Amino acid sequence: MGSSDEKVVAVIMVGGPTKGTRFRPLSLNIPKPLFPLAGQPMVHHPISACKAIPNLAQIYLVGFYEEREFALYVSSISNELRVPVRYLREDRPHGSAGGLYNFRDLIMEDSPSHIFLLNCDVCCSFPLTDMLDAHRRYGGMGTILVIKVSAESANQFGELVADPVTHELLHYTEKPETFVSDLINCGVYIFTPDIFTAIEDLSTQRKDRANLRRVSSFEALQSATKTLPSDFVRLDQDILSPLAGKKQLYTYETLDFWEQIKTPGMSLKCSGLYLGLFQLTSPNLLAFGDGTRSAKIIGDVYIHPSAKVHPSAKVGPNVSISANARIGAGVRLISCIILDDVEIKENAVVIHSIVGWKSCIGKWSRVQASFSFYLIFILHAISKIYKVKSLLAKNFPMAVLYNTKINSRILALDIIIIYSFFDIAIHMYTEDGVICNRKNSLVDCPSNFLAKACGMWI
């Protein structure tokens, strides 16, 4: 155990508007870290976990967003948790480790003995206190949270090899082409202040190599395209890989859930995981109801205090309803996120969907997607062309409605696959989509036209 006067700080990397474009359209109106999962901003979950760290002195959010975008939230969460939370804006990209080093003087103001580093877009139980205890037992410079995954999916992440007895990190490689290990990096770390020395040493080595290199102007031009700036330091490739096997880095394996939040589809899954976690950490946030004086609640559900849900509605499992939403009589909600100012009228059904801000779902409408594969249907552009009453996304796991009104026609979407606005801008689909109503009348909707329409809203 550490001394009672040892201080700990936490740094949470939140990215910026040029990052996380796969999360569009959900990040068009709001910074991705502030998008609600289980009724709370995405960044709220790691911040709440940090609150449990003994002797926590400060929480820093580091990113590229304008300070005004986080000002209100930072003030609110600081008062709520009674822990100082501060947003630090990077002037330019420095890399995951370089960003930490860039604010080293501020981070070390309280002379902390340990520094937590977390990525905002990971969803897990954040076992930070257990991780801190393990880190102190190991006695190294840093400890990495890791988890075992299937061999098929491991190469999508940083793979590592650890000593099964001492848990020392022996080898680390980022997204290898061939299988190395089923143990992956979770993007949650704890370091001693020695991490700043390691980053500084790497930057110095780069500067020295640049100064010693004597090459022709042509070779210098080639080298400049391959060489990173001395102050741009990546934590995984530049720090973890070189220090592996040197008795400085160790691993702590979590047996709980872990996911990356990169796309709108994952936000729905992760919202459900956090709702389940509330059973242990924040049961007061979960809604209850038996269908008499309040709506019938099934499983884990969050309902904002300002939302109005009719007593005859049936809600859950895995549903979160945001501020000022209005849920009418007889409505059925299953596995969905209902965002601010949404109206869902009588007897409508919403399943496996995210209903965006100020959308309106008409009476007896049905918005549903199936779980055959993780593809995403985004209605934003279609809503500009057609007025619809009901939507069925065939063979897709989730429908994402973005500022949409569904009120006049029943449509079923087939063939067209839209991953996100970012992908649409790059890929022009060759297959034609077919939009049909209940009478099976067909309306041609060439996918390249739809792609262009969606591209207008990037």
In a domain, 268, yes or no: no
Residues 48 and 117 in one domain: yes
In a domain, 281, yes or no: no
Residues 207 and 334 in one domain: no
Please report where in the chains the tokens 């002379």 appear, as a residue.
Answer: 111
Range of weakest confidence among 210-224, 245-259, 329-343, 412-426: 412-426
Residues 256 and 300 in one domain: no
**Torsion sign (Cα): 397, 400, 406, 412:** negative
* Cis upstream peptide for 446 (omega within 30°): no
In a domain, 271, yes or no: no
Q: How confident is the model at residue 226 (pLDDT cuts 50, 70, 90)?
A: low
Residues 207 and 344 in one domain: no
pLDDT at 330: 95
**CA 150 from centre of chain:** 21
In a domain, 267, yes or no: no
Percent of the chain whose pLDDT exceeds 90: 53
Task: Please name the residues in contact with 118: beta carbons below 8 A apart, sequence gap of 6 or more.
Answer: 10, 11, 12, 13, 46, 50, 126, 187, 188, 189
Tokens of 451: 């792609």
How buried is residue 148: exposed, middle or buried, by Cβ count under 10 Å (0-12/13-18/19+)? middle
In terms of pTM, does the model score above 0.85? Answer: no
pLDDT at 290: 72
- Please say which residue of 211, 245, 260 terminates a domain: 260
CA distance 317 to 302: 10
Residues 144 and 188 in one domain: yes
Letter for the amino acid at 283?
P
Residues 106 and 224 in one domain: yes
Residues 172 and 299 in one domain: no
- Please say which residue of 244, 260, 276 terminates a domain: 260
Residues 177 and 71 in one domain: yes
Letter for the amino acid at 403?
N
Residue from 162, 104, 101, 173 nearest 134 by CA: 162
Residues 254 and 301 in one domain: no
**Torsion sign (Cα): 154, 157, 160, 166:** negative
Q: How confident is the model at residue 433 (pLDDT cuts 50, 70, 90)?
A: very low
pLDDT at 370: 52
Residues 116 and 245 in one domain: yes
Do 233 and 126 meet the contact criterion of CB atoms below 8 Å apart?
no
CA distance 353 to 212: 57
In a domain, 135, yes or no: yes
> Does the structure show a pLDDT above 70 at 249?
yes
Tokens of 186: 């979770």
Letter for the amino acid at 113?
S
Q: What is the pLDDT of residues 367-406, one digit of tens each?
A: 776 543 333 333 433 333 333 344 444 334 455 555 555 5
In a domain, 427, yes or no: yes
In a domain, 401, yes or no: yes
CATH of the domain at 117: 3.90.550.10
CA distance 343 to 323: 11
Residue from 290, 256, 288, 262 nearest 274 by CA: 256
pLDDT at 214: 47
Q: 34 to each of 14, 40, 45, 355, 390, how far by Cα in Å?
A: 10, 8, 11, 16, 29
Residues 40 and 162 in one domain: yes
In a domain, 309, yes or no: yes
* Structural domains of the chain, count: 2
Residues 112 and 182 in one domain: yes
Q: Which domain holds residue 315?
A: 286-455
Q: How confident is the model at residue 230 (pLDDT cuts 50, 70, 90)?
A: low
Percent of the chain whose pLDDT exceeds 70: 73
pLDDT at 33: 95
CATH of the domain at 392: 2.160.10
Q: How confident is the model at residue 421 (pLDDT cuts 50, 70, 90)?
A: very low
